Amino acid sequence: MSEAQDYKYIGQRTIRPDGYDKVTGRANYAADLALPNMIWGKVLRSPHAHAKIKSIDTSAAEAHPDVFAVATHADIPNQRNPGALNILAKDKALYHGHAVAAVAARTEQAAEEALGLIKVDYEVLTPVMNLDDAMAPNAPLIHDQLFTNGLPEKPSKPSNVASRMEMSKGDIEAGFKEADIVIEREFRTPTVHQGYIEPHACTVRYDADGQSMIWCSTQGHFDVRGSTANMLNIEHSKLKVIASEIGGGFGGKTTVYIEPVAMILSRKSGRPVKIQMDRDEVFKGSGPASATRNKVKIGARKDGTITAMEAHLYYESGAFPGAAPLGPGCMTIFTPYDVENQYVEGFDVVVNKPKVAAYRAPGAPQSEFACEMVINELADELGIDPIDFRLKNAAKEDTQTLYGPKLKAVGLVECLEAAKSSPHYQSALEQGVGRGVAAGFWFNIGGVSSVIINMNPDGTGTVLEGSPDIGGSRASMQMMAAEELQLPIETFTTIIPDTAHLAHNDTTGGSRTTFATGMAVIEAAADVVRQFKERAAAVWNVTPEQVQWTDGVAINANGEDKMTAAEICANAGRTGGQITGRGNINARGAGPSFGVHIADIKVDRETGKADVVRYTAIQDAGKAIHPSYVEGQYQGGAAQGIGWSMNEEYIYNKDGLLENPGFLDYRIPLASDLPMIETIIVEVPNSFHPYGVRGVGETGIIPPLAACGTAVSKSIGIRMTELPLSPPRILKAIQEAS
């Protein structure tokens, strides 16, 4: 573990800089911008899950006196853009809620009326709503030219299976032969949504001179610029995207839905256009996570050594081939285990549901759920404590992963040990309570970040970073700048300017921001230090090498001279101009984060209702820059994972229509549904980051599925295999068993 006393500023629990805005309501979110002469856009959505669009007649809508513009797929300038078919449907509506047309009118009400005037001639087709139906021999085809990729030979017939992938190491057959016990199980997980509180909204303006602007809620405004510019043939320099304050994203705001539509409507009408999804549209028209069916087989020797691990994964992609996070599902499933013989096969399957989007550790919760459930069952069969069983087989430094690299120093063993000695795991179980433990692995990513630090004449500094702050990163950036410059945290203000003020930044995702953008901040701060030394050296008439930067002060190594940052900045105009630090990097060496969760659940055997009575999340942060935010990530991930396990699911009727597009019946956990989630921060430094940071945002959603799945199974004495563990499902299992 790294030593906190090495650092002056990082590792503190400072007051969050965005707190005041959010608490007072001053923060401006996506729906908060209104412009003069602005009109309202609304989207017409398919009432069918699967239908041919024979024609769209917009004439009556266009004739409406308050309507300024109508848009359909035909209005998208670059129809080859891979996202264009989801933005506005072309020949086929592929899911209930698929955008088909849009209007912009003087008022929201007029826009709504005009939607009712658009006549779409649909030929309704049989919907394909789950993996079993999609892969049935005579399944209706969603795309008649979809031939499975990745098979040894190109198939002769199209199907709903978009692709197949395979990974292996060692000798899987030999591995199972060595085993004394082999367990094979199949698991299912439902379609779930990220459930961010703030619906998608944007205000967009396209001016007559070709300049344009988007204000929206996004995890990556540079990518909003990239995809909208590409779809609409606009140069990047002419499209400015401003990221509003964001009310949650969890991966769901890494893509565009309404922004290009609003731009088309603005271009056609010459007016600023605002589009705001309502909650119903968010559930129907944005991107949920894949439903899956996963089969896992694991073999072990009596002494607890795992000899072979095999998985066959089926991921729904929604209606768009290749959207499922199948790769990460295959790559992560067995990574917590240092086992020589591993084999994974995965399939990406299309169904008539919305195009799958990223959701916190995309693809990993589903596959790791299956693996961890079997690991727990094996531990029980072998009579070994589930933590000891994992410790015996745990991945560590130099473990060869299935997907390529060998692991560097990682913290799985440390997390397992922390879990084992935690007050929670040491506590006795009450009658009727089941306990589940599960591990989780997520890679984390680095990527492109561009940061500028402008030093002001009074010695304060403004950090400009391009990663929308969904988890408290502005605070962490401020702290890392302070640490590197050895200046008080309050010296710095962090802002996230629009796309015109910084070079490109990758989207906030993959738990990359504190790691990668943090590294860019450190680099920019080092650039400032270098210039501070140069300026002081110039005044003292020495070389920069003769100047030290210590405790936020320049010191002349040859004498007694000192110069503060404020003095250097006040003088900057006379020593060569104002000082700007720059950090434009492509961060490599993201450190994986392992986590271990413990869940205690009590089931009411008469109603099937399961209550989480105690929960602990343990995870490796590398180095926690702001421990409260890190704990918040652990708790948030756990809460979402518990929701995924217990009650959340898209419910479709027999016609493929979504029956629960709202928070009343799409049941995310309420505060009162959860115990206080206890956290333990483990710190095994990532050697690639100056302070040892690993991303922490995603791993926390992975272990809850199997921790809860196991805890419920233990509480009722029945092995559950399908999520969510809703009261009717649990009751049914109890009744069938008795």
Partner 1 sequence: MVSVVYEAPDSIQDAVKLLATSKVKANVLAGGTDLLVQMRGQHEPRLIVDVKKIASMMAANVSADGVALGPAVPSAELSARDDIKAIFPGLVEAAYLIGSTQVQGRCSVGGNLCNSSPAADTIPALIANRAQCVIEGPDGERTVAVEDFVTGVQRNCMTKGELLTMIKLPQPAPRTSDAYLRFIPRTEMDIAVAGAGVSITLGEDGTCTDARVAIGAVAVTALLVPEAAAALIGSKLDDAALQAAADAASAASKPITDRRGTIEYRKHVVGVLVKRAAKIAAERAGG
Distance, CA of 502 to CA of 468 (rounded, Å) = 13
For position 647 contacting partner 1 by CB under 8 A, the verdict is: yes
Stretch that binds partner 1, among 172-180, 240-248, 379-387, 601-609 (CB under 8 A): 601-609
660 is a site residue for partner 1 (CB under 8 A): yes
Cα gap 287→97, rounded to integer Å: 11
Residue 289 phi, psi dihedral angles, 5° rounding:
-95, 155
In the region spanning residues 609 to 638, those forming contacts with partner 1, defined by CB under 8 A, are 609
Q: Cβ distance 400 to 364 under 8 Å?
A: no
Scanning 139-147, 202-210, 347-355, 663-671 for contacts with partner 1 by CB under 8 A, the matching segment is 663-671
Say whether residue 543 binds partner 1 (CB under 8 A).
no
Indicate which single residue of 24, 55, 541, 672 sits in contact with partner 1 (rule: CB under 8 A).
672
- In the complex, what is the shortest distance from the CB of residue 737 to partner 1, in angstroms, rounded to a whole number? 15
Strand 239-243: give its sheet, edge to edge.
67-71, 99-105, 39-45, 273-276, 201-206, 212-216, 239-243
CB of 89 to partner 1, least distance (A): 24
Residue appearing with tokens 């509506």: 93
What does the block give as tokens for 273? 């256009």
Candidates 233, 237, 607, 687; binder of partner 1 (CB under 8 A) is: 607
Facing residues of 17 across strands?
A: none
Restricted to residues 484-513, the positions that interact with partner 1 (CB under 8 A) are none
Output the smallest distance, CB 127 to partner 1, in A: 17
Q: How far is the CB of 663 from partner 1 (least distance, A)?
A: 8
Which residue spans within 64-126 are E strands per DSSP? 67-71, 92-93, 99-105, 119-124
Long-range CB pairs of 395-402, under 8 A, 24+ apart, other chains included = 395/335, 395/336, 395/337, 395/338, 395/441, 395/594, 396/338, 399/338, 400/169, 400/340, 401/331, 401/335, 402/167, 402/168, 402/169, 402/330, 402/331, 402/334, 402/335, 402/342, 402/344
Instruction: Calculate the alpha carbon distances from 727 to 599, 608, 645, 706, 733 in Å.
Output: 18, 4, 12, 17, 10
Position 275 contacts partner 1 (CB under 8 A): no
Shortest separation between residue 225's beta carbon and partner 1, angstroms: 33
Least Å distance, CB 286 to partner 1, is: 20
Torsions phi, psi for 95 (to 5 deg): -160, 160
CB of 47 to partner 1, least distance (A): 17
- Find the shortest distance in angstroms from Cβ 695 to partner 1: 31
C-beta closer to partner 1: residue 112 or 561: 112
Asked if 568 contacts 554 with a C-beta cutoff of 8 angstroms, the reply is: yes
Among 445, 667, 675, 719, binds partner 1 (CB under 8 A): 667
**φ, ψ (nearest 5 deg) of residue 23:** -70, -35
Q: Does 640 bind partner 1 (CB under 8 A)?
A: no
Q: State yes or no: residue 651 binds partner 1 (CB under 8 A).
A: yes
Quote the least distance from Cβ 530 to partner 1, whole Å.
55
Burial of 677: CB neighbours in 10 Å, binned 0-12, 13-18, 19+: buried
| Stretch in the footprint of partner 1 (CB under 8 A) among 187-195, 455-463, 603-611, 677-685 | 603-611
Classify residue 35 as exposed, middle or buried by CB count within 10 Å of its CB (0-12, 13-18, 19+): middle
664 part of the interface to partner 1, by CB under 8 A: yes
Per CB under 8 A, contacts with partner 1 among 692-731 are 726-728, 731
Answer yes or no whether residue 669 interacts with partner 1 by CB under 8 A.
yes
CB nearer partner 1, residue 292 or residue 726: 726
Q: Is 606 in the site for partner 1 (CB under 8 A)?
A: yes
Its sign, for the CA torsion 478, 479, 483, 488, is positive
Residues 102 and 70 sit within 8 Å (Cβ to Cβ): yes
The answer to whether the beta carbons of residues 455 and 581 sit under 8 Å apart is yes
Residue 603: Cβ-neighbour burial (10 angstroms; 0-12, 13-18, 19+): buried
Looking at the DSSP bridge assignments, the partners of residue 92 are: 52
For residue 85 the two structure tokens come to: 């078919």
Residues 107 to 166 in contact with partner 1, rule: CB under 8 A = 109, 112
Tell me if 426 contacts partner 1 by CB under 8 A: no
Report the 10 Å Cβ neighbour count for 551: 9
Q: Which is nearer to partner 1, 695 or 724 (CB)?
A: 724
The site that binds partner 1 (CB under 8 A) totals a number of residues, namely 22
Q: In whole angstroms, what is the distance from residue 54 CA to residue 122 CA?
A: 6
Q: Choose one: 31-39, 130-138, 415-423, 602-610; the region binding partner 1 (CB under 8 A).
A: 602-610
Nearest approach, Cβ of residue 197 and partner 1 (Å)? 14
Q: Measure the CA–CA gap between 256 and 87, rounded to whole angstroms.
A: 8
Cβ closer to partner 1: 12 or 660? Answer: 660
Q: Which of 74, 174, 670, 717 binds partner 1 (CB under 8 A)?
A: 670
List, in sequence order, the alpha helices (H) in 564-702: 565-570, 627-646
**What is the nearest approach in angstroms of partner 1 to the Cβ of residue 718?**
17
Is the Cβ of residue 42 or residue 205 nearer to partner 1 in the bound state? Answer: 42
CB of 596 to partner 1, least distance (A): 27
For partner 1, the closer of residues 457 and 728 by Cβ is 728
Which CB sits closer to partner 1, 2 or 660? 660
Based on CB atoms, which residue is closest to partner 1, 398 or 665?
A: 665
Residues at the contact surface with partner 1, assessed by CB under 8 A: 109, 112, 606-609, 647, 651, 659-660, 664-665, 667, 669-670, 672-673, 726-728, 731-732
